[in-house]
Amino acid sequence: MKPRFITFEGSEGCGKTTQISLLADWFKQRGQTVTCLREPGATPLGEAVRHLLKHDPAGHGMAAESELLLFTASRAELVRKVIQPALTAGRWIICDRFHDSTTVYQSIARGLDRLTVSVINDFALGGTVPTLTLFLDLPAAESRARMLRRPRPVGQTDRMENEPPEFYEKVTNGYRQLADSEPSRIKRIDADGDKRTVFEKILSEVKNAFHGQLD
């Protein structure tokens, strides 16, 4: 049996959280147990790291190397405390961002050495790799427009959302490159449609990847 482990990837605002919620409901309607996780976070250590990375003034201007190690520290904890035990118990795991985000943001977009990032990523994962990764591909400008329309707590800024437009172009192109390099795991989904249309494409990939494991 393939590990029941699905990750969602793509730029800010491309619809990951929206689609994860639809997919989780779909699994639950079929009587399946599903755990949805977000990266970084989902463990006490991970949530503290998330705050540092996204909102805490202590994180402002951090070095790209520190950012890489904080993301992967959160992931190492998540894999060992939550993901591995759940997969062993036969549960479905859906994760909002995972190791591909590190490859794309820290290596392709921020320019850290690709091989070093890959070694650190692998160390954090300890062999726990998703069976299916859904990359929601949306033009960077549309992603940004959706992101800015999204409701958010008053006065809260997010360090990762304040990058110049070129950064988001690099992210989108980075995901496309990565998807081309691992076509059997990473499925590129055209996310430029209404929520239901995008969801139908996702469902078709889930059914393909887990054929025979959905009942």
Ligand X SMILES: Nc1ncnc2c1ncn2[C@@H]1O[C@H](COP(=O)(O)OP(=O)(O)OP(=O)(O)O)[C@@H](O)[C@H]1O
152 near ligand X, judged by CB under 6 A: no
Question: Which residue number, 4 or 97, has a Cβ lying nearer to Mg ion?
Answer: 97
Residue 150 to residue 189: CA distance in whole angstroms: 21
Question: Given candidates 2, 17, 177, 180, which one binds Mg ion under the rule CB under 5 A?
Answer: 17
Question: Which residue number, 30 or 195, has a Cβ lying nearer to ligand X?
Answer: 195
Question: CB of residue 132 vs ligand X: minimum separation in angstroms?
Answer: 17
12 near ligand X, judged by CB under 6 A: yes
Q: Applying CB under 6 A, which part among 59-67, 69-77, 145-153, 177-185 lies near ligand X?
A: 145-153
DSSP assigned state of 150: S
Residue 200 to residue 169: CA distance in whole angstroms: 26
Residue 20 to residue 41: CA distance in whole angstroms: 16
Question: Which residue number, 16 or 201, has a Cβ lying nearer to Mg ion?
Answer: 16
Q: Which of residues 164-203 bind ligand X (CB under 6 A)?
A: 194-195, 198
**Coil, helix or strand at residue 96:** strand
Q: Are 137 and 187 in contact (CB under 8 A)?
A: no
16 near ligand X, judged by CB under 6 A: yes
Residue 102 to residue 109: CA distance in whole angstroms: 10
Specify burial of residue 44 (Cβ count, 10 A radius: 0-12, 13-18, 19+).
exposed
Question: CB of residue 215 vs ligand X: minimum separation in angstroms?
Answer: 29
Residue 1 to residue 106: CA distance in whole angstroms: 32
Question: CB of residue 161 vs Mg ion: minimum separation in angstroms?
Answer: 11
18 near ligand X, judged by CB under 6 A: yes
With b for 16 or more beta-carbon neighbours within 10 A and e for fewer, the 75-99 pattern comes to bbbbbeebbbebbeeebbbbbbbbb
Question: Which residue number, 16 or 75, has a Cβ lying nearer to Mg ion?
Answer: 16
Q: Applying CB under 6 A, which part among 55-63, 78-86, 144-152, 181-189 lies near ligand X?
A: 144-152
Question: Which residue number, 161 or 214, has a Cβ lying nearer to ligand X?
Answer: 161
* Site residues for ligand X per CB under 6 A: 10, 12-18, 146-147, 149-150, 194-195, 198
* Site residues for Mg ion per CB under 5 A: 16-17
